A and B are shown apart, each in its own frame.
Chain A
Amino acid sequence: QLRLQESGPGLVKPSETLSLTCTVSGGSISSTDHFWGWIRQPPGRGLEWIGSIYYSGSTYSNPSLKSRVTLSVDTSRNQFSLKLSSFTAADTAVYYCARRRRYYYGSGSYLGYFDYWGQGALGTVSS
């Protein structure tokens, strides 16, 4: 059974960088049928996609966050990571890592839905 687990310091000083890592177990991060992504959820609010990465290092990010987001992957450790810079109170949220299915339609391949999720890690501003 695939498992994803977020880790990293949950408290971030204002204007500094949130760093989180997702460790994948029970499956390979080098799967050609999947991307790996980050989604966040502010307290009491809806979900927001942050970005997705392929095992080769190809990335896609939410245009509203793209300038502050860095995604990376370490296939030797079966891990992928998120860095969100210039952190403010507005970025306080539960951060989820998830596996994203790649699907094939016509002559192309596309990025789809999220079929496995980690339990989430709270990222919040420290005063």
Chain B
Amino acid sequence: DIQLTQSPSTLSASVGDRVTITCRASQSVNTWLAWYQQKPGKAPKLLIYKASSLESGVPSRFSGSGSGTEFTLTISSLQPDDLATYHCQQYNSYPTFGGGTKVEIK
């Protein structure tokens, strides 16, 4: 199976900061990668698919990039509502998820 490694596992940033989360795959997944936001006690919500395509209704401060084995999720200006854990998922083969990155607000 394809392993996904996210870094950092936790990050703390201030409102208005630019935040970047990395997801590395153990082998190439082309651009078949999605990002999800999971707020405490809630189900994951799709943010990005195909590495860089923004899901309808998702704020434009979220963006994704990358291909092959290295991907990033960027929040251009962190908002209080962005307090959550973020997960990457590949679908180049049977789905696997990264371990998650918890974003805290300073």
| Minimum Cβ distance to chain A for residue B66 (Å) | 15
What A residues does B34 contact at CB under 8 A?
112-114
| Minimum Cβ distance to chain B for residue A99 (Å) | 10
Among A47, A96, A112, the residue within 8 A (CB) of B49 is: A112
Among B43, B95, B97, B100, the residue within 8 A (CB) of A117 is: B43
Work out how many contacts link A and B, with CB atoms closer than 8 A.
Answer: 50
Interchain CB contact under 8 A, A113 and B49: yes
In the assembled complex, B98 has its CB within 8 A of some CB on chain A:
yes
Q: Which residues of A contact B (CB under 8 A)?
A: 46-49, 60, 62-63, 96, 101, 110-115, 117-120
Given contacts A47-B89, A120-B43, contact A115 B55 (CB under 8 A): yes
Interchain CB contact under 8 A, A62 and B94: yes
What B residues does A101 contact at CB under 8 A?
49
Interchain CB contact under 8 A, B97 and A46: yes
Most chain A CB within 10 A, of B34, B36, B55, B94, is at: B94
* In the complex, residue of chain A having the shortest beta-carbon distance to the beta carbon of B49: A113
Among A46, A63, A110, the residue within 8 A (CB) of B87 is: A46
Encoded as 1 (CB less than 8 Å from any A CB) or 0, chain B from 56 to 90 comes to: 00000000000000000000000000000001010
Which residues in chain B, 8-56, are within 8 Å of chain A measured between CB atoms? 32, 34, 36, 42-46, 49, 55
Interchain CB contact under 8 A, B46 and A114: yes
Interchain CB contact under 8 A, A118 and B94: no
Interchain CB contact under 8 A, A112 and B32: yes
What A residues does B100 contact at CB under 8 A?
46-47
| Minimum Cβ distance to chain A for residue B7 (Å) | 14
13 of the cross-chain contacts (CB-CB < 8 Å) are A47-B44, A60-B94, A63-B94, A96-B44, A110-B32, A112-B32, A113-B49, A113-B89, A114-B89, A115-B49, A115-B55, A117-B44, A119-B42
The complex places the Cα of A114 from the Cα of B87 at a distance, in Å, of 12
5 closest A-B pairs by beta carbon, nearest first, are A113-B34, A117-B43, A47-B97, A49-B95, A113-B49
Given contacts A46-B100, A49-B96, A117-B43, contact A112 B91 (CB under 8 A): yes
